Amino acid sequence: MSHTTLDDYQDRYAARIHGMAASEIRALFAVASRPEVVSLAGGNPYTAALPMDELGDMFTRLLAEDGARALLYCPGQGDAALREQICGVMADVGIDASAGASPDDVVVTVGAQQGLDLLARVFLDPGDIVLAEGPTYVGALGVFQAAQARVRHVAMDDEGLIPRALEQAIAECPAPPKFLYTVPTYQNPTGVTLSGERRVEVLEICERHGLLVVEDDPYGMLSFDGHRPRPLRAMRSEGVFYVGTFSKIFAAGLRVGWVLAPPAVRDKLVLASEAAVLCPSALTQAAATRYLTTMAWREQVKAFSALYCERRDAMLSAMDDYLPSAMTWTRPGGGLFVWADLPEGLDSKAMLPKALAKRVAYVPGTGFYADGTGRGQMRLNFSFPTAERIREGVRRLAGVIESAGELRDTFAP
């Protein structure tokens, strides 16, 4: 029997698959997960901090008391009890009944990722334009690429999306953009948070131009100083679709997220979700519901935040100690990531094999742009490695950057 190579199918693929390539992050996984490598490349929550024995009991009880139901299909919109609980979670960040949030308007999804995919299926035709922060979440870029949409980046600084740049991007679009995709709080990949003043301005600009907003908020509760910025959706219900997830406040492996959208859009999202997955997992939804109703989930969010805060501090102090003064980086108030600017002329993508040889991994900035920029930047994760490993990783990274800098100076004219 002859082996068929993948290329034999080349001219049979749908157009949408041609633009899709493995993300920078996925390509890194195999090497970065070797134990000798300090991986600052991940984006995983530190699930080892969860009370596993208690969770074990919870899952056992779930199956004993509710197994027959939890192992069935469920409504495409998601389980009603969980949707009720999700409204309780959102109320904690200010999206409550007075902001028009109701369990009826929640669509449970297979992680926030499917929420983004459903929004793309409902709103995007090939060629449509989406505005997004530059840089932005790599998984959202994948979704928009699969939808054959075009992404235009809007510049950001230490206070998030720059309103003037948003205004300009809208004006320069050859066709009205379909929506603004934004991660306003403790953004992936920069860790940056949109300031309160700018939240008002951004909403005002979007309203004035009739621009819809997709607000992606996986990190809003992981605050290091107790201050949780109000989501855009808490400030405006009209035209803002809110995407949430349990991945960072409970467990990513559960694959449970949600979208909050007004009834007409909600119905379309449910249709799109049923076409894709019939319904999200009833089992993990039941687990999420039990977790929220029987365990101290708010305390756990505080514990995650305290742990990540300690690790952020370890990362920032190691960066202060080891990295060259020509570098700058963000100082996130929450979330999982620091974003660093390399010294002039260094290329994070070209440098990566050398970093892996020195047993440290990061994600090159190019993964977070649709247009190939970002070579001068990198994303560093501090949620998963211990403080000691983070310090060691940054020390190794500093050595790699230093020798890349020397090489650059040698070849400079």
Under the criterion CB under 6 A, does residue 177 sit at the interface with ligand PMP? no
Beta strands 129-134 and 360-361 are: unpaired
Under the criterion CB under 6 A, does residue 182 sit at the interface with ligand PMP? no
Task: Tell me the residue number closest to ligand PMP, measured at CB.
Answer: 111
Residue environment code for 72-100, b if the CB has 16+ CB neighbours within 10 A, otherwise e: eebebbbbebbbebbbebbeebbbeeebe
Total binding residues toward ligand PMP, as defined by CB under 6 A: 14
Under the criterion CB under 6 A, does residue 181 sit at the interface with ligand PMP? no
Please identify which residue in 87, 120, 124, 137 interacts with ligand PMP, judged by CB under 6 A: 137
Binders of ligand PMP in range 108-127 (CB under 6 A): 111-113
Under the criterion CB under 6 A, does residue 193 sit at the interface with ligand PMP? no
Under the criterion CB under 6 A, does residue 284 sit at the interface with ligand PMP? no
* Pairwise CA distance, residues 231 & 226, whole Å: 15
Under the criterion CB under 6 A, does residue 216 sit at the interface with ligand PMP? yes
Under the criterion CB under 6 A, does residue 332 sit at the interface with ligand PMP? no
Would you say 141 and 12 are in contact if contact means Cβ atoms under 8 Å apart? no
Q: Which is nearer to ligand PMP, 242 or 323 (CB)?
A: 242
What angle, rounded to 10 degrees, do the helices at 111-123 and 263-277 form? Answer: 110
Please identify which residue in 182, 188, 377, 381 interacts with ligand PMP, judged by CB under 6 A: 188
Q: Which is nearer to ligand PMP, 146 or 252 (CB)?
A: 252
Looking at residue 207, its amino acid is: E
For the bound state, the minimum distance from the C-beta of residue 115 to ligand PMP, rounded and expressed in Å, comes to: 8
Q: Locate tokens 């060629």: which residue?
A: 127
Would you say 365 and 379 are in contact if contact means Cβ atoms under 8 Å apart? yes
Q: Which is nearer to ligand PMP, 201 or 216 (CB)?
A: 216
Residues 61, 62, 64: CA angle, nearest 5 degrees: 60
Under the criterion CB under 6 A, does residue 257 sit at the interface with ligand PMP? yes
Would you say 199 and 185 are in contact if contact means Cβ atoms under 8 Å apart? no
Would you say 312 and 338 are in contact if contact means Cβ atoms under 8 Å apart? yes
Q: Which is nearer to ligand PMP, 250 or 329 (CB)?
A: 250
Under the criterion CB under 6 A, does residue 28 sit at the interface with ligand PMP? no
Q: Which two tokens stand for residue 193?
A: 């948070």
Q: Which is nearer to ligand PMP, 135 or 139 (CB)?
A: 139
Please identify which residue in 76, 78, 177, 218 interacts with ligand PMP, judged by CB under 6 A: 218
- Fill in the per-residue mask, 300 to 329: x = in contact with ligand PMP (CB under 6 A), - = not in contact: ------------------------------
Looking at residue 344, its amino acid is: E
Q: Which is it for the CA torsion 365, 366, 371, 372, positive or negative?
A: positive
* Pairwise CA distance, residues 19 & 117, whole Å: 16
Neighbours of 21 (CB within 10 A): 10
Under the criterion CB under 6 A, does residue 78 sit at the interface with ligand PMP? no
Under the criterion CB under 6 A, does residue 247 sit at the interface with ligand PMP? yes
Footprint on this chain of ligand PMP (rule: CB under 6 A):
43, 111-113, 137, 139, 183, 188, 216, 218, 245, 247, 252, 257
